[in-house]
Amino acid sequence: MPHTPEADEDDLDAVPPPQPVFHAEQALLGALLLDPHRLDDVNGITPDSFSTAAHAALYAAITTVPRPDPAEHAQNTKWLDRVLAAGLEQARGLTATYLHTLIQVCPWPRHAPAYALMVEAEYARRRLLTAAERLIHTVHDASLPHPVQTVLAEADALASVVDDIANRFPPRSGVLPRTPAPPHAAPDHTEAVEEEQLLLATATARPDDIDAVRCLVPDDLTLPLHAGLWQCLTTLARRNEPVDPVTVLWEAQQRGLLDNGSEPGEVLRMLAEPAGSVEHWAERALQRSLLATAEHTGRRIEAYAGDPANTPFQLVVGARRALADIAAARTRWQHATGGTPPQQRRPAPAIRAGPPTTTAAHTARSTRATR
């Protein structure tokens, strides 16, 4: 006869099993409920360090209710009753039965410092994950009036979290996260392609302006062909050789840029339509590159922090290496825009979400410059 599930059985099956840190929290709380004096051996954690509201409320109660006399505590449950009453003010689901369960599941109360370190390590991972997610959301916030400055501030907030974790868990040399870095996200070519074409055409028409945008490197451009053509332009300009659509096309052929099927006529037409200024389009490309770098950095750290097998030591090393990419992009941006604001540490802003957009390049065509 087939098994007929009870009314709530399917719902129970849908509940995921608790993570290891949940058991570490139970063991720590049980140790403190059984021997409150072991609070002296526990440091580095706060109620926020716990993964559930009930555990956070219970830890807050344990640390605020005056400790009982050890002999009296061994004889009655008065102190446990006071702790329960205080915890119920923050978490209505707590019961006396659960407090006794915590005491029973604690293997060794004297291991409370080890349990606390586990709780602290998991909290560090959650903090890093949250900060990385905020950075990613900020990159995609279309409402920001100054996206670069806001994203860099968010990167500083993420770096501050990493520094806090490093102070408690100093990184060990050579200990890298075991998690592979995620691939770069596919860029949105909608406006980037047109803006980069305008950059290449305008630089071809005004090669003397290329030297003013030396901070822009080929990797800042989204398409391999565009990156290669920019390298052609900068090389010709550096050699003081003639620059025009034909000379750039010839240099592109020498570099094998046309081997991927690019038509010479299409390249010539693209390079023959300048508009605006080289500085403007270079700054647009550099901004796009910086935001893409920030997003990839956030996703790298998100992947590291999302893997519970990584220790806090590994998270610190991996996060700092990832943040170095933003630091390099920041330096080039500041040189390009003439600003060198200091890095700031501040609380992370609220998460904002939205698709990334840029000003349509076609608006510049109305002010197209004469070659």
Query: From the centroid of its chain, how far is CA 362?
Result: 33
Residue type, 30: G
Q: Are 233 and 308 in contact (CB under 8 A)?
A: no
CA distances from 211 to 175, 279, 353, 362 (A): 41, 10, 37, 25
pLDDT at site 62: 96
Q: Are 53 and 63 in contact (CB under 8 A)?
A: no
pLDDT at site 345: 44
Q: Are 10 and 43 in contact (CB under 8 A)?
A: no
pLDDT, the chain, mean: 86
Per-residue H/E/C for the chain: CCCCCCCCHHHHHHCCCCCHHHHHHHHHHHHHHHCHHHHHHCCCCCHHHCCCHHHHHHHHHHHHCCCCCHHHHHHCCHHHHHHHHHHHCCCCCCCHHHHHHHHHHCCCHHHHHHHHHHHHHHHHHHHHHHHHHHHHHHHCCCCCCCHHHHHHHHHHHHHHHHHHHHHHCCCCCCCCCCCCCCCCCCCCHHHHHHHHHHHHHHHHHCHHHHHHHCCCCHHHCCCHHHHHHHHHHHHHHHCCCCCCHHHHHHHHHHCCHHHHCCCHHHHHHHHCCCCCCHHHHHHHHHHHHHHHHHHHHHHHHHHHHCCCCCCHHHHHHHHHHHHHHHHHHHHHHHHHHCCCCCCCCCCCCCCCCCCCCCCCHHHHHHHCCCC
pLDDT at site 347: 45
pLDDT at site 337: 85
Q: Which of 4, 54, 65 is nearest to 25 (CA)?
A: 54
Distance CA 66, CA 80 (A): 11
Distance CA 244, CA 235 (A): 13
Distance CA 369, CA 184 (A): 35
pLDDT at site 274: 94
Distance CA 230, CA 224 (A): 10
Render pLDDT for 53-111 as a digit per residue (tens, 0 to 9). 999 999 999 999 999 988 888 888 999 999 999 999 998 889 999 999 999 999 999 99
End-to-end CA distance of the chain: 86
Q: Are 136 and 350 in contact (CB under 8 A)?
A: no
CA angle 28, 31, 35 (to 5 degrees): 145
User: What is the arithmetic mean of pLDDT over 43-51?
Assistant: 92
Render pLDDT for 298-356 as a digit per residue (tens, 0 to 9). 999 999 999 999 999 999 999 999 999 999 999 999 988 875 444 444 444 333 333 33
- Residue 222 DSSP symbol: S
CA within 13 Å, CB half, 216: 31
User: Three-state DSSP class for 110?
Assistant: helix
Q: Are 313 and 177 in contact (CB under 8 A)?
A: no
Render pLDDT for 252-288 as a digit per residue (tens, 0 to 9). 999 999 887 789 999 999 999 999 999 999 999 999 9
157 pLDDT more than 50: yes
Render pLDDT for 177-230 as a digit per residue (tens, 0 to 9). 888 888 877 666 678 899 999 999 999 999 999 999 999 999 999 999 999 999
Distance CA 267, CA 69 (A): 85
Distance CA 254, CA 182 (A): 34
CA 315, 330, 135, 225 dihedral sign is negative
User: What is the arithmetic mean of pLDDT over 120-135?
Assistant: 96
User: What is the arithmetic mean of pLDDT over 26-49?
Assistant: 94
Q: Are 87 and 57 in contact (CB under 8 A)?
A: yes
